[in-house]
Structure 1
Amino acid sequence: MKSSCVRFRKVFEMLDRYAWLDEDYERLEKQALTRQIRSVDAVLGDRGAWIRVEGKTLLNLSSNNYLGLAHDARLKAAAMEAIELWGTGATASRLVTGSCALYTELEQRLAAWKEREAALVFASGYQANAGVISALVGRGDAVFSDRLNHASIVDGIVQSRAEHYRYRHNDPEHLAYLLEKHKGARRKLIVTDTVFSMDGDTALLPDLVGLRARYGALLMVDEAHAGGVLGERGEGLCHALGLHREIDVIMGTFSKAFGAYGGYICADHSVVRYLATKSRPLIYSTALPPAVIASVLTALTIVMKDAERRKSLQAKAKWLRERLASYGFSVGEGDTPIIPLIIGDNEKTLRYSRKLEEMGIAAVAIRPPTVPAGTSRIRLTVMATHTWAELEWAADQLQSIRADLEGGIG
């Protein structure tokens, strides 16, 4: 009898152990804030414009594949050739034996492309942001971060243990106030996205460069959604504004316009040398597979040379933004391929996303904590490989759905 009671108690304890998780999940469910991972069954064709999700064929308006390179035959051929030569995995971290010769070539080319002394490739953009910030600042230092910066920037600041001061979005006056108030910090770091991933607007870089000089701060920018999209050769917003030499650390990714995976930073030799020694995500992560590095090298050539693809992307994004604004949608400010349809209410945003899927469009609902409370949205993204006919059809579907939903949007 005693052993039966013990077994019963153990079973009860195991059942009760996760009760708090179930309760919290139910709370999130009531707020329309739960998330599910859905399987993409296939990408249809070589443009990346159409996908099949759980048996449904959908026009993909939720991808960061801005230039359509993720399915480019040239990138796939480069990856397969690298697999034959180097195998499928790097087998170790970069500081052990994982940094194959392709890394050296890529970092040299990235530095030349960005017109900086050196570059350093990380296993992901998230790791690059977290690893750079947590290495450059620590206790006694202060980081000044735009309120709408990506989560990887926020997490890097938290890991650094530096004091974190968030300035109002694109408000240089508020940033100046905070810098003045905390000018006694040992080191000061200003960090911002250049293109904000959920709003599609751009940072006020000239103002930030001025404040960098005035307060002796370091300035780091995240070009994840600007790389390949802005600049004469796709270098990003810093180059488009002619400010790339005034930035201490320029970070970017290969998972958006490059159609591959990974992250990188470009900076002076002193910065790169220091990060290679101190950045924990770099030190303790297995290096990217050689096939990924090879595909990135090919993508970099295309990004630099194919200005027409970039112009097509910009023209299509501008057209869709203006068309949706003319229909009465609240699309925010900006001239990038990211077009937010601001709805506000979480449940209504989910209904809108489901309705779009019923009509053949993949457009995901974005809700807190990814965006501030009360600003839930459908985040649309345009690719260079979308056809004009596809975008016109999508705009018409969006208009009809808006009319169907009680109360409209905007």
Structure 2
Amino acid sequence: MQQQFDQRLRDNLDELSSRKLLKIEQEIVSPQSAQINLRAMGEREVLNMCANNYLGLANHQALVRAAHAGLERHGFGMSSVRFICGTHSVHRALERRLSEYLRREDTILFGSCFDANTGLFEALLDEHDAVISDSLNHASIIDGVRLCKAKRLRYANNDMGELESALREARHCRTVLVVTDGVFSMDGIGANLPGICDLAKRYGALVMVDDSHAVGFIGPGGRGTPARHGLEDRVDILTGTLGKALGGASGGYVSGRAEIIAWLRQRARPYLFSNSLMPALCEASLAAIDLAEDAEDLREKLTARTFQLRRGLSNLGFQVSGSDHPIVPLITGDAAIAVQISDYFLALGILVVPFSYPVVPQGAARIRMQVSAAHSAEEIERVIFAFRSARTHLGAGSPRSGS
């Protein structure tokens, strides 16, 4: 039995490898930044176009100093879950700071936003309720919805007609929760939050937003998509991460009304059964929020570099998803072409990663890049030139006229 099982896994891995779909983990031997050193490249420096390091804070010295100070003051780890003896004063301080920053009544910390999303639905909803989810929502939302007993409905991405149909279907349920990503991570597309909130109000539904790819750099003060649309008071539950714009380490949270957060402390399983965040991470996250709140210069630079890359690729005739977000997916359609581009770029000293099924739908393979405020205009021009060269040498990428 064991030999058959192991052989099946080897066969599956070989099949992925033969189709050039095997995910390869690049080993970094330097701090995370716009330029990183890869073990596979003989520790040579490459331009990094893959990280969620939107504000360039992942190796910011203010965060490094805060983490060092946190280690000295609080030690390394808590060795416990929150309700036993794992709640440190710095956990409470970070929860209060996030609540203040996001303009919410209360916040609860999780080990990751994946944990936050997988723990939320089961705790808040049961067979008397309904959850309505956008078709492009993150895997953590999909998994979290699967864990709860609520009626499950789905609508096509940003399709308000389908959302309204789902709301009508769920109108007899006790509580209806509409859940969406603030920004859809594989496409760089923002949610139609005004339309969602209007429909939710009309049908008496609650709204939840996972704002992982927005908080820190979108909206006034970087407070995210609800703030961008002036809808902070219309979103009932906000989840997010400390692992992207806010320092890039780890940790997630749920923010919302006090009653929601209080109940999650009693019933959210990833919170109840996982060790609390290390205190030094919380100290660094406090420093990251302070930086992000006043980082208009970094947000302006991020916007400029994003526009530069998107305009350059569009001028070359490539199909690029989204409009203004620093997630910049260049659609190839063919997975093999995406892999070819990735390999070609690595030889040029630029790290980009191909995405294909099952991460994205069949026939929708892409190179997903992420712009950082740490990137210079010269580095973005280098990426644009590399795509021009790849099209010439590989015939790679699908111009819009042929897609």
TM-score by length of 2: 0.95
Which secondary structure does the structure 2 equivalent of 1:157 belong to?
helix
Superposition pairs for residues 189-338 of structure 1, below 5 Å? Answer: 189-259=177-247, 260-338=249-327
- Provide the rounded CA distance (Å) in 2 between the counterparts of 1:398 and 1:53: 24
Decide which moves more: 400-409 or 378-387.
400-409
Aligned length: 396
Where do 5+ consecutive residues of structure 1 fail to align? 1-12
CA 1:139–1:29 in 2, change beyond 3 Å: closer, same or farther? farther
Structure 1 segments, 4+ long, off by >4 Å, are none
- Provide the rounded CA distance (Å) in 2 between the counterparts of 1:89 and 1:313: 34
Where do 5+ consecutive residues of structure 2 fail to align? none
- Provide the rounded CA distance (Å) in 2 between the counterparts of 1:295 and 1:398: 37
- The AA in structure 2 aligned to 1:391 is I
Deviation at 1:333, TM superposition (A): 2.2
Q: Does 1:168 align with 2:168?
A: no
Instruction: Look up the match of 1:377.
Output: 366
Decide which moves more: 388-397 or 292-301.
388-397
Superposition pairs for residues 87-102 of structure 1, below 5 Å? Answer: 87-102=75-90
- The AA in structure 2 aligned to 1:50 is I
Residue of 396, 399, 405 corresponding to 2:385: 396
CA 1:398–1:407 in 2, change beyond 3 Å: closer, same or farther? closer
- The AA in structure 1 aligned to 2:104 is R
- Provide the rounded CA distance (Å) in 1 between the counterparts of 2:347 and 2:330: 18
Decide which moves more: 25-34 or 152-161.
25-34
- Provide the rounded CA distance (Å) in 2 between the counterparts of 1:357 and 1:164: 42
Deviation at 1:348, TM superposition (A): 1.5
Residue of 22, 28, 35 corresponding to 1:49: 35
Superimposed CA distance per residue, residues 249-276 of structure 1 (whole angstroms, 9 cap, x where no aligned partner): 0111111101222111210111110111
Instruction: Look up the match of 2:344.
Output: 355
Deviation at 1:134, TM superposition (A): 2.1
Which secondary structure does the structure 2 equivalent of 1:239 belong to?
helix
Greater C-alpha Rg: 1
- Provide the rounded CA distance (Å) in 2 between the counterparts of 1:346 and 1:250: 34
Deviation at 1:18, TM superposition (A): 2.3
Deviation at 1:408, TM superposition (A): 4.2
Which secondary structure does the structure 2 equivalent of 1:120 belong to?
strand
Residue of 112, 120, 125 corresponding to 2:113: 125
- The AA in structure 2 aligned to 1:332 is S
Superimposed CA distance per residue, residues 58-109 of structure 1 (whole angstroms, 9 cap, x where no aligned partner): 1000000111101001100110111111111121111111121111111111
Q: Does 1:343 align with 2:332?
A: yes
The answer on whether the counterparts of 2:91 and 2:282 sit within 8 Å (CA) in structure 1 is: yes
Residue of 146, 151, 171 corresponding to 1:183: 171
- Residue identity (%): 36
| RMSD between aligned residues | 1.5
Deviation at 1:201, TM superposition (A): 1.1
